[in-house]
Amino acid sequence: MEALGEVYRMLGAAMLTLARSMLRDRDEADDIVEEALLRIRRAASGFRGERGLRTWTLRIVANLCRDHLRRRRFSAGPPEDLDPLEAAGLRVEPVAEWDEAMDRRTVLAALERAIARLPAEQREAVVLRDRLGLSYEEVAATLGVSEGAVKSRLFRARENLKRAMAAWLET
Amino acid sequence: MDTMDPRERERDERLTRMLRAAGAEADPALWTRARARIEALERTPGPLAWLMRPVGLAGSLALFVAAAGMSSALLRALPWQQPYEVVTLTDQLLSEGSYADAEPPAANGAAPGAARDSGGMP
């Protein structure tokens, strides 16, 4: 149990960031992370460390999020008019060189809505690579696809996001 | 060699900064909840824990239904004999009456099959 607590201390923030960015619902995301911890506990004896603890853990969270999104296809999902940062339970970090004239919350809310509109496979790639800072190799191992597929998903995701955020990226 | 034009690179970097700007912190309450759930699960005896799992429960139910169906089919297929004949009181009385008509029982200790006493002197 102590080892699992250590895993949560080390990777809890990344697990929650991934689940909350993917699902945009704080309660659902927290349930997913809780379930992931249970699975990690059950599967701990099978962990061989080939892919690294972070990749292995985030893969469990990503798979649970994917299953959840598949089930959610038949429900309405979170309403569009909700503040996506508030609903997802994401906090805004101070950004260096951030244009002070920009309303950070408005911009980041628009970005979260744009991320939510991405297909799930592009969304998970962009969250893992750009939000959590994983390498291409780690993203590929987490998602169980080739590095080429990761680069292609990421390129398409970023093009979509740039289009959606054009007004704020030009300033 | 990087062929991206500087303006495009600037937009790209700005997007990356925006993406990195939101995140979540590890919530201690979530760990407390998860630990309590794990401990509760581990305190439950193995077979009971297995039964509590939805797949286990569904599997047990399916086994129960299959066993009940097979027993019922077997019971129906066996050549059953009733342990006694069901007879109404009327049937029983009528059947006893027909015995009485057929041959009255020997009286006064006479041996069965002995000649009937005519009542005359010897």
Average pLDDT, integer, range A67-93: 75
CB proximity B26 to A under 8 Å: yes
Choose the mutation target among B30, B53, B55 for the interface with A, i.e. most A CBs under 10 Å.
B30
Average pLDDT, integer, range A24-31: 92
Residue A80 has pLDDT above 70, yes or no: no
Q: How far is A147 from chain B (nearest CA, A)?
A: 19
pLDDT, tens only, B12-63: 888 998 898 888 988 899 999 999 998 888 887 767 766 667 777 888 899 9
Residue A151 has pLDDT above 80, yes or no: yes
Where along chain B do its domains lie? 39-77
Tokens of B23: 């995140």
| DSSP structure class, residue B79 | -
- Which residues in chain B touch residue A42, judged by CB atoms under 8 angstroms apart? none
pLDDT at A2: 82
CB proximity B5 to A under 8 Å: no
Q: How far is B39 from chain A (nearest CA, A)?
A: 9
The better pLDDT of the pair A27, B114 is held by: A27
pLDDT at B67: 94
DSSP of A32-83: HHHHHHHHHHHHGGG---SS-HHHHHHHHHHHHHHHHHHHHTTS--S-TTS-
Least confident among A41-45, B63-67, B111-115? B111-115
pLDDT band at A76 (very low <50, low <70, confident <90, very high): low
Pick from A138, A171, A167: nearest CA to A154: A138
Of B12, B24, B31, the CB nearest to A8: B31
Sign of the alpha-carbon torsion through B82, B83, B86, B87: positive
pLDDT at B40: 87
CB proximity B115 to A under 8 Å: no
pLDDT, tens only, A105-117: 788 889 999 999 9
- Which residues in chain A touch residue B43, judged by CB atoms under 8 angstroms apart? none
pLDDT at A128: 96
Tokens of A136: 């291409």
Least confident among A7-11, A39-43, A155-159, B83-87? B83-87
Query: Do the Cβ atoms of B11 and A169 come within 8 Å?
Result: yes
Q: Which residues of A104-130 are buried (b: 16+ CB within 10 A; e: fewer)?
A: beebbbbbbebbbebeebbbbbbbbbb
pLDDT band at A101 (very low <50, low <70, confident <90, very high): low
Q: What is the Cα–Cα distance from A36 to A33, expressed in whole angstroms?
A: 5
Question: pTM of the prediction?
Answer: 0.68
Q: What percent of chain B has pLDDT over 70?
A: 66
Q: How far is B61 from chain A (nearest CA, A)?
A: 25
Residue B108 has pLDDT above 70, yes or no: no
Query: What is the complex's ipTM, to 2 decimals?
Result: 0.82
Residues of A with CB under 8 A from a CB of B: 1, 4-5, 8-9, 12-13, 15-17, 20-21, 30, 33-34, 37-38, 41, 85, 89-93, 95-98, 104, 107-108, 111-112, 126, 130-131, 133, 158, 161-162, 165, 168-170
